[in-house]
Chain A
Amino acid sequence: MPADAATAAVVRPAGPALEMAGIGKRFPGVLALENVDLTLEPGKVHALMGENGAGKSTLIKILAGVYQRDAGTVRIGGAEADLRSPRDALRAGIKVVFQEIALISEFTVAENIFLEEYPVNGLGSIRWSTIRKEAAALFARLGFDVDPAAKVGQLPVSQQQMVEIARALAHEARIVVMDEPTSSLTPNEVALLFTVIRRLTGLGIAVLYVTHKLDEVFEIADTVTVLRDGRHISTRPIGAHTHESLIQDMIGRKIDNLFPRERGAARGDVVVKVEGLSTDKLKDVSFEAKAGEVLGFFGLMGAGRTELAKAIVGFDPIRTGRISIGGTPLVPHNTRTGVALGIGLLTEDRKSEGLMLELPVLQNTSLAALEDFARAGFVDEGRERSAVQQFVDRFRVKTPSLNQQIKNLSGGNQQKVLLARWLMRGLKVIVVDEPTRGIDVGAKSEIFALIDRLAGEGLAVIMMTSEMPELLGLSDRIAVMAEGRITAVMDREGATQEAILNAAIA
């Protein structure tokens, strides 16, 4: 009988809720985890941190029964547990919000909530009315604004993520695991989530929380475990950490300034000019971006940033309006023209719009720049390889070789490859949509430095982001969107968090 965990009576066990000891896991060419220990206490939030590829998701997947560990033991509520499949883990009361959204996009929100166990009547028929009512009630309780009757596939990523969270909380749980649950959420929604988490811990549920956002850890976590290169580095109460010490544990070095600014203030000519752009979602959007500047776009979920990004590179059709790149109109309106004119998009949805999962890192990196390595249509693979290797080294992409299938890389490393894909090709403008989603601080600072350097080299960078610090730290100018319109454009100097949020709500 499904019930909201927040109201379910939970027997509080005496000892630790979960003990993982000596966990090891090897993938071909990669030692993902080596002798890792993790202990979760009931009623506490335990943060798990580490660079991209540190092994966080792998550890979670072992806990969720998705992967089988090569070594170590797992004890749940004191008893040894053999988690051979997700089913075992669910039975053991472990609910997981996965890093990759795991919903059936053809199903409604409500049905997705009850995917694990449909309520049935005496004859075994699904009780749709129960599903409908309980889903609505659940969202009302959580304070999430999601239509339970909507088809999941038609929802923006952020709402999908809320559905994921709601799903994990719909059933009784002893342990709730969240792998980067806030990567697509707005501050408001994050606040809601934290309220929920506190309610869970109040009921004695153990929470394992993975994130790359330091502020969140300091706000919600009781204890922090840091992994690096698959090894356990430290487990400390949060009180024993400072930002610096945490970063030091994670990446083994210090980051002095997350937002370095090497580039000068000099701005070049206008390279992107958008006039009166309208699509199904966008209404009369006009703006310019100059060479050498970072133009940040902020907005709440569904404000239309992703739509704008896709429209200006020629990926999505437009209704009216003009786009010109370096003075040349983007006509015909398609990505081929866009790329030829020098505009590229780093998409928000890595998996379905960026990665060629079955293909190796090499092909994934060189895709857009392939013609640069070709003579008369023939690819010079030697040159291609060395160029790709350079980027892989420079971005510190963690991969055993260029021939590794990209699906085996961690999320952050995948993102770096996709960024490299564009930077290998000389662009005038790069549009980045949530460029640091799911990326660790170390890589983040590298990517910020890169963006800064690119702008310094005369590239126009258009950055769609939901991260306020990122927006303020990196942009030269800030455009705010709401409901498909640009509601404000401000200079970095004049921008305050308040002004931006006000414009976003307008």
Chain B
Amino acid sequence: MPQSPSLSAAAGPKRPTELLRALFRRNETVLLVCLVALIVFFSFASGTFLTTRNITNVLGQASLAMIAGIGIGVVVLAGEIDVSIGSLVGAVGIPLVVVMNQTGSLELGMAAALLLALGVGVANGYLAAYLGINSLIVTLGTMFVIRGGIYLYTGQRAISDDLQLESFYQMGNGRLLGTVPYPALVALVLLVAFVYLMRHRPFGRQIYAVGGNPEVARLAGYNVKRLKFAAFVICSLLAGISGILLSSRLGSAVHVAGLGFEFQVVAAVVLGGVSLAGGVGSLLGVALGVLILAFLSNGLGMLNIATEWQLVITGLIIIAAVAFDELKRRRQ
């Protein structure tokens, strides 16, 4: 695991075979190979898979899980978990659309949405990091509370975007130069930023340390609670961004948006090699995990495979991939 990338990279000159082996020990390489294999397979199996349109489509679709996945990645690396993101993704659409309808401003709507996300992040973080309640319990609780709150507030009705703002539509549905969906761009920027943050900023390394061993981190003078708190806030804000983009793709605030999303994302994060025990894994792996699941879903659809088979195949692949990763880890 390349916890200190520059260190492992510069471990001295090696023979090519050794370099290759070292490369393959990296979880990301294996995931990348899987992804490429998947793409090659579907390209041959389906005539409509390998088109710019379809590939960019998938990138756009994957970006929502990717953005949220970065957040979950950070929280899990910090040794915690957040299962409330699915509800949050559904919830942020409400302030977004309500404020937008009232003020006619997308910016104000987004600010309101992010404010809600921030509030949820602060609540989760306070309960889990400062009060010390197990984060699965906390976020399971907030997951119920938020979803129930959505239903209470909306009376289980979607809220439509009355003003039909063009900018709101374009955000989730538009494409840069007609090719790259904007959500994919947002995801890419966030990915690069957070990969840098987690690898090359003390804050990122401290998150790793806190997840790897909170006691040690505390002895090293870290404010463990504050770091974990920060991880929750980051996670919620990213889920908020994901929810804003989803809301744009749906052109409204849909009360059932994001149902089950947390499990999809957690599955992708674990598939990407992040250990639920904390402190192990990388955001690059998370991104690859998300892409693998997204291309799998798209490819199986292109092959006209029924839902029930899709579920079975995806489940088996998750087990196989995680088992393989585990085997590899044990071999070392």
Contacts and interface: CB of A to CB of B under 8 A. Distances in A.
A124 B201 contact: yes
Interface string B187-229: 0000000001000111001001100110111111111000000
A108 B7 contact: yes
A128 B4 contact: yes
Interface stretch (A13-21, A113-121, A299-307, A371-379): A113-121
A132 B7 contact: yes
B221 A104 contact: no
A66 interface: yes
A102 B216 contact: yes
Contacts of B209: 104, 107, 115
A87 interface: yes
Nearest to A107: B3
Given A102-B216, A107-B212, A108-B3, A86 B8 contact: no
A106 B215 contact: no
A98 interface: yes
A105 interface: yes
A149 B8 contact: yes
B216 A106 contact: no
A108 B9 CA distance: 12
Interface in A62-92: 64, 66, 85-87, 89-91
Contacts of A151: 1, 3
Contacts of B216: 102-104, 115
Interface in B208-259: 208-209, 212-213, 215-223
B7 A149 contact: yes
Nearest to B281: A106
Majority secondary structure, B binding face: helix
Given A106-B1, A106-B280, A110-B7, A87 B205 contact: no
Contacts, number: 93
A106 B221 contact: no
A441 B332 CA distance: 40
B6 A111 contact: no
Interface residues of A, number: 33
A101 to B, nearest CB: 9
B279 A87 contact: no
A111 to B, nearest CB: 5
Contacts of B202: 118, 120, 124, 126
A105 B277 CA distance: 13
A129 interface: yes
B6 A132 contact: yes
Interface string B270-313: 00000000011000000000000000000000000000000000
A131 B3 CA distance: 13
Interface string A450-485: 000000000000000000000000000000000000
Interface of B: 1, 3-8, 10-11, 196, 200-202, 205, 208-209, 212-213, 215-223, 279-280
6 contacts: A98-B219, A106-B208, A106-B279, A107-B212, A120-B202, A129-B6
By Cβ-Cβ distance, the 9 closest A-B pairs, closest first, are A128-B6, A87-B221, A118-B202, A104-B212, A90-B221, A102-B216, A115-B220, A125-B200, A111-B4
Given A124-B201, A149-B11, 10 more contacts: A66-B218, A107-B3, A107-B205, A107-B212, A108-B3, A115-B220, A118-B202, A125-B196, A125-B201, A131-B4
